[in-house]
Amino acid sequence: MIKGITLVRPASSPAVYDTLVSFFAALGFEDGQSWNREGDRGRPFLAPLGNLEFVDGMKQGATDTWIEVTQLDAVRGVIEHWLATNLSAAEAPKRISETAETFWKSRVFTAEPVPGIVYAFWEWDEPLRGKPVALAGDLSAEGAKFAIIVARWNSVITDRLLEGALDCLYRSGARKDEVHILRVPGAWEIPAAARKVAETKLVDAVITLGVLLRGETAHYEAIYNEVSRGIGQSQQETGIPHAFGVLTCETLEQALDRAGLKAGNKGFEAASAAIEMVSLNRKIDQKVASE
């Protein structure tokens, strides 16, 4: 399958190479893996999107490198500064064109950092062209109240999950007196406690933390199915977001990895999801109220 495309542009001289490297570095492209061997050197510049486009009837002398940007005017300012720094006051204005409107609903200008080498920079008139306008939550917990339901069983794991969740909440602006921690014996008891807290409507989100190990529990699937069903049902029927941080692992080692050793901390991730859902719910309520 096709993964990417690289256009290689040989520089006509070391001076031209240095000038082009300076020009693109100033624009903020991501650096690729450069090399410098005896006889040749290279400096890749990476972009998140690449296209190969064929054109019939292209005007003679038109550039073959088109760089799509956001904030076209800001990009133009960077280029004008670079030209003023590297060229004479008389020459710099000649190396950049006026920004023009196109028939395909965009704006474009060209820049010529080296004589004969021209690049076009362009931006859609509609920045979200072709993309749905999405309503999304912010990762700010300021002013929100949370309940954390955490199982004592396998506390060597669940205590790490709790630490991760608290770290996320406090980093995101939650106040300590607005984060309530409830301990339950094991994962089986989490849904009942989550439902009880959610029904009070005194918290904005519930974070559930626990662990089930297949090697220790013969009826592993039955417990997991009931725990996940209970948490999901509580969320749906109370309207309070419930973040799912109950680990289901084969071994203790796997659980430790997912509680902060090698595979991130799922408690932190669950708290992050809870924060985002609280923010999203507030935005939805505001949008409904304003309509």
Tell me the per-residue pLDDT of 25-75, one tens digit each, with 9 for 90 and over: 888 877 778 878 777 888 888 877 777 676 666 676 678 888 888 888 999
pLDDT score, position 198: 96
pLDDT score, position 135: 77
**Which stretches within the chain are classed as H helix?**
14-26, 72-86, 155-171, 190-200, 220-238, 252-258, 266-290
Nearest by Cα to 148 from 184, 185, 173, 186:
184
pLDDT score, position 249: 86
pLDDT score, position 131: 61
pLDDT score, position 259: 86
Please give the model's pTM, rounded to 2 decimal places.
0.56
**Pair 149, 206: CB distance under 8 Å:** yes
**Pair 247, 208: CB distance under 8 Å:** no
pLDDT score, position 86: 95
pLDDT score, position 221: 82
pLDDT score, position 217: 62
Taking the C-alpha atoms of residue 188 and residue 159, their distance in angstroms, rounded to an integer, is: 17
Taking the C-alpha atoms of residue 160 and residue 261, their distance in angstroms, rounded to an integer, is: 10
Q: Where are the domains of the chain?
A: 14-47+66-124, 146-290
DSSP string, 32-63: ---EEETTEEE--EE-S-------SSPPTT--
**Pair 174, 234: CB distance under 8 Å:** no
Tell me the per-residue pLDDT of 135-150, one tens digit each, with 9 for 90 and over: 788 888 989 999 999 9
Taking the C-alpha atoms of residue 114 and residue 97, their distance in angstroms, rounded to an integer, is: 14
The segments of the chain whose pLDDT lies below 50 read 1
CATH topology of domain 14-47+66-124: 2,3-Dihydroxybiphenyl 1,2-Dioxygenase; domain 1 (3.10.180)
pLDDT score, position 139: 85
Catalytic residues: 219
CATH topology of domain 146-290: Rossmann fold (3.40.50)
